[in-house]
Amino acid sequence: MNAYTRKKQPLLIRRALLDCAAQVAMERGVGGVTMQAVADAVGVTKGGLFHHFPNKQALIEGMFTDLLERLDAEIDTTMAQDPHPCGSFTRAYVNSIFTGPSWGLQTLWSALFMSAMTEPALRQIWSNWIAARMLRHRETDNSLHLYIIRLAADGAWLAFITSGEAQASSELLDVQARLLEQTATPYDTDGQGV
C-alpha cells in the first residue's frame, strides 16, 4: 500500500514523530534532532513532517509540551491516590522527578529539559505550566515550605543529570524520601514551619 492509498492517521503519525524525535534527542542531544532524521525514522516524507511541525523549533516545542502533558497525567494519577490533600501536588512532583516514568531521573526527556535552560521558548512553556499548576493547587500547596521542597527536588534532579551517573544512588533516593517526609511537616499560613 503506498502513501496515496493508505488510510491517513494524523494522530498516530504525530505521536510517532514526537516519540522518534525524543529518541533522537536522547541519543544525540537536542542539537542532533533534524527534520530529516525524524522523518526517516517514522517513515514519512519531510513534507509529511512539516504538515505536523513546520520547523525544528515547533518540533522541539511539541516534544516539550508533550512531556508536560505526560507529566500532568502522571501527577494527577499520583495525587488521586494520595489520602492527604495538603502537599499532595508537591509529593507527586517530587515522586515524578525522582522515579516518574515520564520525567524521572532516567527517562528520555533529560536532554530536552536541559535545553530549557538555554531556550527562551521552552522556559516560557515551563513557566506557564508551573504557574498554572500552582494556581490549580493553591489551596493545598501554596506555601514557602512546600516551594522550598520543590526547589530542592529540582536541584537534586539537575545534580543527577549533570553528574553523568547512569543510576540514582541510594543517597539520592534518600533525598527523595527525606523531601517526601518534609511535606508532612505542619506549617502555618505564611508557609513557615511550625
Provide the residue ranges of all domains of the chain, joining segments of one domain with +. Answer: 1-54, 61-194
- What's the confidence (pLDDT) of residue 139? 94
pTM: 0.81
Residue 4 predicted with pLDDT over 50: no
Q: State the Cα–Cα distance between residues 102 and 99, nearest whole angstrom.
A: 9
Q: Does domain 1-54 have CATH number 1.10.10.60?
A: yes
What are the Cα distances from residue 4, in Å, to 1, 7, 8, 23? 8, 8, 9, 28
- pLDDT, tens digit, 9 for 90 and up, residues 108-167: 666 677 777 888 999 999 999 999 999 999 999 999 999 999 999 999 988 888 887 767
Q: What is the mean pLDDT of the chain?
A: 85
Smallest Cα–Cα separation from 82: which of 72, 92, 69, 67?
Answer: 92
- What's the confidence (pLDDT) of residue 162? 81
Q: State the Cα–Cα distance between residues 21 and 44, nearest whole angstrom.
A: 13
Given a contact cutoff of 8 angstroms between Cβ atoms, the answer to whether 156 and 172 are in contact is yes
Residue 18 predicted with pLDDT over 80: yes
Residue 53 predicted with pLDDT over 70: yes
Smallest Cα–Cα separation from 100: which of 135, 68, 144?
Answer: 68
Question: In 43-137, which ranges are continuous DSSP H helix?
Answer: 46-52, 56-80, 88-99, 110-115, 120-136
